[in-house]
Amino acid sequence: MNFFFHRSPLILLLTSRYIRGSRVTGLLSIKSRISFIVMAVGVALLIVVLSIFNGFQRQLKESLWQGGEHITIESSSNGGEIRDYQKIIKYIQKDPELKDRIISVEGGIQSHGLIQRYNVFYPVLIKAVAVPNVDALIENKLHNFPRVVHYDREELGHLNRENYIILGKEMEDLYNFSLGKQLTLAVPGGRFSLGKGVEVSVQNFRVSGFFKTGNYKFDSSFVYMALPVAQKFFKMKDSVNQITIKAKSLDDLAISKRKLYKLFNSLEFEQEVDVASSLSVRTIAEEQENLLAALQLEKTIISIIVFLFIILAALGMVASVYSLVRAKRKSIGVLKALGLPASDILLIFTLNAMLVGILASLTGGVTGIFLANSLDSIIGYIEEIINMVGLSFTGSDWTPVELVPKRIYYFDKLPVDINIPFIFMVTTAATILSGIAGYFPARWAASLNPVDTIRND
């Protein structure tokens, strides 16, 4: 009889059905359903939360990667001017350790400034880069220039000779800076002196285009112009105040920084470049370190909190299986008296808990993927309903509600990145936890004495 039970999967399945029975108490049914629902909700929430944070991190890195330089070289001497920047660029380009890690290296100018329109001043960051070809600029083939989305092609053709500027797309809505508008820019010009202080250079510029990176902060504060025009505007002649590098990967930034300092400290470089000892290097990862670290910390904390839902469901599974064992003590005793091995009893109840875990994981996984994909639309509908109700009650005094403020999160839409390997890991973990939760009550069921259970029940 023992051999017959142990070798037949069909008998094992029928035994499981016999132990479970067709009539389960209402209390047991409620406990099983609660465990199933809590685990499914926990899996779904974990997938949605992690998809949002993965999307935020990916979008942030992409917008930073596309919007600005990856590595910046500056000088602390000569008022920040780098006169022999072309020589420095040649040294960097011919260095074999840096050549394979960078895409481009170019000189440029960056400075704080003010835009004046109708007696109102707006603080901006002015960035000047080389624009050798207008077609390459329009086709987004320049490594040091963001994607231009709205422009006057004829005016862009004169970008290197006349006072034309390209603004971030968000500035068009924020300040009503439309294409073709005349704006007054004020920036520090020339050198600082104790007698005169800082000279200010003021000129009129015409808006000839708008760029967009997807980073709200970047698109709402940066102004681009051609390097030759900027050198006249800032009174820097043939100088720049920074050398910018585009790298091939974020993983190359720290290594490239070490290689650059190694190059700057070499004897040959120090002999050829006057400002070698005053050069400093910073990377975009260092500039955004606090933001990236805060995002990662929030992701970790919220993931832990949501994962507690799954653990709570596993604890509920323990109570559910214990109730099942107590309700079926007599059936277990009969089957053990007929020769069913204790290992099969252990397997039956463990698989019973794992089955609930598998179903909850699949339900939560599918629900989580659906919610993550539809989250932007769902939030949009909720915003519309809230604003519609608020407008109907308060009238024109109602301030529109924005559930995901782009001025805080920098993005023009909610980014979501669904990670399939992570989803598989979450569902597998939930199934394993269910199996562990069912194992301990199953051990108690396997250790029951058949004679005692039959006599007492």
Residue 2 lies in a domain: no
Final residue of a structural domain among 277, 301, 326: 277
- Please report the pLDDT score of residue 1 as a whole number: 44
Q: How far apart are the first and last CA of the chain?
A: 24
- Please report the pLDDT score of residue 236 as a whole number: 85
Where helices occur in 395-449 by DSSP H, the ranges are: 406-409, 420-446
- Please report the pLDDT score of residue 406 as a whole number: 60
Q: How many domains does the chain have?
A: 2
Structural domain range at position 191: 77-277
200-212 and 164-168 as β-strands: parallel, antiparallel, unpaired? parallel
Q: Three-class SS of residue 110?
A: strand
Tell me if 70 sits within 8 A of 248, measured CB to CB.
no
Q: Count the neighbouring beta carbons within 10 Å of the beta carbon of residue 41.
A: 19
Contacts 24+ apart (CB under 8 A), 89-93: 89/243, 91/263, 91/269, 91/272, 91/273, 92/243, 92/245, 92/260, 92/263
**Same domain flag for 237 and 296:** no
Final residue of a structural domain among 277, 312, 342: 277
Residue 92 and residue 86: Cα distance in Å, rounded? Answer: 10
- Please report the pLDDT score of residue 164 as a whole number: 94
- Please report the pLDDT score of residue 418 as a whole number: 82
Final residue of a structural domain among 228, 247, 277: 277
Residue 445 lies in a domain: yes
Residue 318 one-letter amino acid: V
- Please report the pLDDT score of residue 133 as a whole number: 86
Q: Count the neighbouring beta carbons within 10 Å of the beta carbon of residue 399.
A: 9
Task: Give, in order, the Cα–Cα distances in Å from 389 to each of 152, 237, 383, 384, 399.
Answer: 42, 60, 10, 9, 12
pLDDT < 70 regions, the chain? 1-32, 61-68, 189-198, 291-292, 295, 306, 405-413, 450-457
- Please report the pLDDT score of residue 408 as a whole number: 54
- Convert the pLDDT of each residue in 158-184 to its tens digit: 899 899 999 988 888 888 888 888 999
